[in-house]
């Protein structure tokens, strides 16, 4: 595929210092002013001051300069202007109005996680010792930014830009396009677009080593703010990943996740697993195989009217 990586995002929020401090407490590293990274990747989240919370930039990578030319041509057919300078393309998303930046590069690989010894039924790999999750002194930190989820009143237009224009590949769809999971890496999804009353970021997701890392990191957040938990812990149906959703200090939902489906053969996935009609007569596509059901605020955050009013004042909706 032409696009080959989700590099980082920029979040515009009214309280940038609070958000930076929060993620440092969760184990991310302040690598520059307003920049947060992880042990393997110096830039994962960038934070800037803004009048309302939103994603202000989406930064991705592609394989070659020819890919930039091809992307520029496809989005031009959709009426989106872009600039290509050296090995970088920039444009403005026509629906959400964040900046899109694509560089000819690839994400830095992650170092393998330190595997924990598990005692499964009939297979004991940890004997005469307590579980590592019990004895470690602090929760394991986030490893990388994995995906973003965006809501909008015009999912069809957003789909055209991201999938027909930028080149995301469909992994699964709900009701043939009402909501679409897309990928540019091996993960089942690096993007989900779903309907919403205004255009906004629903959540961003940070990959953790395993379910213990998800649980302990989430517990640390709840220890700071009892009302931070939205839903979890559970395991998703689409993507199969373990999840825990919480809110950051700016009010944006984020997800700690682990063990997401990996797609390395596009043809095999399209043939054997990809479905474009989840939901319908049998009810909505389930959030989880196990775990609590999502609350109303999962797809309807309490500050959506505020976000909608701010966008309208700026002429964005």
What pLDDT digit, counting tens, does each position of 87-112 carry? 999 999 999 999 999 999 999 999 99
The pLDDT of residue 236 is: 96
What pLDDT digit, counting tens, does each position of 253-301 carry? 999 999 999 999 999 999 999 999 998 666 556 689 999 999 999 999 9
The pLDDT of residue 146 is: 98
| pLDDT above 80 (res 120) | yes
Average of per-residue pLDDT across 236-254: 97
Percent of the chain with pLDDT over 90: 93
* pLDDT band at residue 5 under the 50/70/90 scheme: very high
Domains of the chain and any CATH numbers? 3-109+141-302 (3.10.180.10)
The pLDDT of residue 176 is: 87
The pLDDT of residue 279 is: 84
The pTM of the full predicted model, rounded to 2 decimals, is 0.97
**Cα–Cα distance for residue pair 161/165, rounded to 1 Å:** 5
* pLDDT band at residue 177 under the 50/70/90 scheme: confident
| pLDDT above 80 (res 117) | yes
């Amino acid at each position: 595929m032409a696009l080959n990586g989700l590099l980082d995002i920029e979040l515009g929020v009214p309280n940038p210092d609070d958000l930076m401090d929060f993620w440092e407490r969760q184990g991310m590293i302040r690598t520059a002013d307003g920049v947060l990274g992880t042990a393997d990747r110096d830039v994962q989240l960038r934070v800037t001051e803004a009048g309302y919370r939103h994603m202000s930039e989406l930064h991705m990578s592609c394989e070659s300069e020819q890919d930039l030319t091809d992307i520029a041509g496809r989005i031009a057919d959709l009426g989106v202007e872009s600039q290509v300078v050296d090995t970088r393309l920039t444009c403005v998303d026509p629906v959400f109005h964040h900046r899109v930046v694509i560089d000819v590069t690839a994400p830095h690989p992650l170092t393998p996680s330190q595997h924990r010894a598990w005692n499964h039924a009939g297979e004991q790999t940890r004997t005469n010792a307590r579980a590592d999750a019990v004895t470690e002194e602090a929760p394991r930190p986030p490893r990388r930014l994995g995906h973003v989820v965006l809501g909008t009143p015009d999912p069809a237009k957003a789909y055209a830009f991201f999938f027909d224009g930028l080149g995301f590949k469909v992994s699964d769809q709900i009701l043939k396009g009402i909501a679409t999971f897309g990928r540019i890496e091996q993960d089942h999804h690096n993007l989900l677009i779903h309907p919403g009353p205004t255009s906004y970021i629903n959540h961003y997701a940070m990959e953790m080593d395993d379910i213990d890392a998800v649980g302990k990191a989430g517990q640390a957040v709840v220890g700071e703010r009892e009302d931070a938990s939205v839903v979890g812990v559970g395991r998703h149906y689409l993507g199969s990943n373990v999840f825990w959703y919480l809110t950051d200090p700016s009010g944006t939902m984020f997800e700690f996740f682990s063990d997401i489906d990996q797609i390395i053969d596009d043809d095999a996935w399209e043939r054997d697993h990809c479905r474009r009609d989840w939901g319908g007569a049998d009810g909505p596509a389930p959030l989880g195989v196990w775990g609590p059901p999502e609350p109303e605020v999962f797809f309807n955050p309490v500050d959506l009217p505020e976000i909608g009013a701010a966008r309208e004042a700026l002429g964005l909706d």
